[in-house]
Amino acid sequence: MGNKEQTFQRIIEVAYVMFAEKGFEKTSLAMIAAEVGISKPAIYYYFPSKDQLIAYLFEELYKEIQRDIVVDFNELSPTNFKDILLELGYKSIDEQSKDPYFNKIFNQYLLLAARDESYMNQLLALQTNFLASFYDVLQYAVQLGVIADHGNIEAKAHMLALLYDNIGNFMLTNSPLNYKAIWKEAVNCVLQGGKDDEGE
């Protein structure tokens, strides 16, 4: 990797942490440049404005969130469905425990969206896709015979999506909860009631 690529990556890493810790408004390009070890004019070569840097980071986070909730349906079967669904949540919990900045910076984008319609629209699209991903997975579970559709698949999918999403906020406050046990209990509740069962 050349010096320009290294500097670019370093800018991204520093901005990610500083925006998360200090917020967008209290972090300047000059502060980021100083932490990276370059001059303020030099950082303009990579990002002409702070807004462009904020937008770039958002695009990267957007893609990362979409990747995290992708499930390969070809790998799903009645025997491994529960394990794969459990692992989806476990992986997210592990990643967030290693990265204390993710939820902080994402919350910055939520604040930004309150006054910037373009970010609001992107977050709404992300949220829609997020909910749809869980719904599609549970719909496939019905096809596999893992659970029965009693008309509540959408509610179950949304419950899992909300839990998946909000665990990170509790982790942000260092709440001493057993997150993996909570996720496991939610998955168990959702998967109760296979096609052979009469009730919920």
**In the chain, where are the structural domains located?**
1-48, 58-191
Architecture of domain 58-191: Orthogonal Bundle (1.10)
Specify the pLDDT at position 69.
84
**Structural contact between residues 96 and 103, judged by C-beta atoms closer than 8 angstroms:** yes
| Apex 77 CA angle, 94 and 179, nearest 5 | 25
In angstroms, the first-to-last Cα distance of the chain is 56
The pLDDT-based confidence of 2 (bands split at 50, 70, 90) is low
The residues, ordered by sequence, that sit 6+ positions from 197 with a Cβ below 8 Å of its Cβ are 148
Specify the pLDDT at position 31.
97
The pLDDT-based confidence of 194 (bands split at 50, 70, 90) is low
For the whole prediction, is pTM greater than 0.75? yes
Specify the pLDDT at position 68.
84
How confident is the model over 76-122, as pLDDT tens digits? Answer: 999 999 999 999 999 999 998 999 899 899 999 999 999 999 999 99
| Apex 110 CA angle, 88 and 71, nearest 5 | 20
Q: Report the alpha-carbon distance of residue 149 to residue 121 in Å, rounded.
A: 32
Specify the pLDDT at position 172.
83
pLDDT at 149 over 90: no
Specify the pLDDT at position 196.
45
Architecture of domain 1-48: Orthogonal Bundle (1.10)
pLDDT at 20 over 50: yes
Summary mean pLDDT of the chain? 91
